[in-house]
Chain A
Amino acid sequence: MVAVYIIGGIIVILIIIFIATYNGLIGLRNQLRNAWAQIDVQLKRRHDLIPNLIETVRGYMKYERKTLEAVTKARNLAQSLASGDVGARSKAEGELSGALARLLAVAENYPDLKANQNFLALQEELTSTENKISFSRQYYNDSVLRLNNKVQMFPSNVVASMTGFKLGEFFEVTIAEEREAPKVDLT
């Protein structure tokens, strides 16, 4: 009789642990998806801001056609890849970041432009969107790490493999390009 109780108790405890672990995994996966959606929102926001920026800047920067075209091109490419695979997409977005940084660096040479309220507001929005992209990526990658740890480490890996949890994929942006200081192209 006692043995039955003990075994029953152990089973109940195991079930509780199973449920708790499973819910924890679900929570982490939702957090991951949420973080991913956040990156998406910010990338879209950046795509939406660019036509406006080009429009504002064009009148002032007559001799920067190349720089402006590079931004527009990178933006269109990134937008067309928005539903593509993560690798190609992050590469395109990385290039867009680079092109934008160059444009903003060149803008430093145009005092009239820097006095334009519209441009200043856009610049703030772009800087912030840029930051938000990297912060949401940072948070996304932290979430991936947390989920992957759970999926791979004992004992939660038992629950994860039973319920079919997969490893999350890190969002790697072509870091080399991003870190590179923007080259000011004065041609």
Chain B
Amino acid sequence: MRAPTSDLPVSFESASLRVGDVNVVRELSLTLAGRTPTVLLGPNGSGKSTLLRLAMGLAAPTSGRITWGGRGAPGERLAMMFQRPVMLRRSAAANVAYALLARNDARVAELLTQVGLADLADRPARKLSGGEQQRLALARALARAPEILFLDEPTASLDPAATKSVEDIVRAVAASGVKIVMATHDIGQARRLAGDVVFLARGRLVDSAPAHRFFASPATPEAAAFLRGDLVI
């Protein structure tokens, strides 16, 4: 079921989110457009997850505004994969089926194959390993046939092999025309996947540039320090 309208571009117009006394995101202006993967890079607490939650419509900015394809509300074709996805108490296949609008066993099998979990379809989702759960969460997000897929630190707690399998899937999804917006604090992962980089620190957008330019010649001292491996807080 493809909606006729597009949620792209997602535009932040000096959007801020205050929680209590803390500015989690400050006066952020940013446009997410095109089909190249955008990587949100920055240290923990820089506002990456909050930016994703705002873009997904899970939180509303306390000031400023966000538009999706020029409209004030997010549409149906957005999907998000969380850092620690919730596994529903049912089989892997049922977790994927849950996200489909209508029962479609063939589509479930296809999605499970896409993430390499076809053999584990009947296994309880909560009994899967960490990497398998992340891949199942990816399949579930893809079941919504998203135009934009938000990923919040999808491999934060995974070993290199599991990380690679998740990255391979993300790369294939990006190649199929889905706009990827992924948060990570892993510079290596950003180098491997990014088309564009949005660099955040302390809730502010510090730099936004094509990946090759960002990594070759970071325009700000914070970004340069972060890329050198200095501790940026």
Q: Do A and B come from one complex?
A: no
Q: Write the residues of chain A forming the contact surface with B, with a CB cutoff of 8 angstroms.
A: none
Q: Write the residues of chain B forming the contact surface with A, with a CB cutoff of 8 angstroms.
A: none
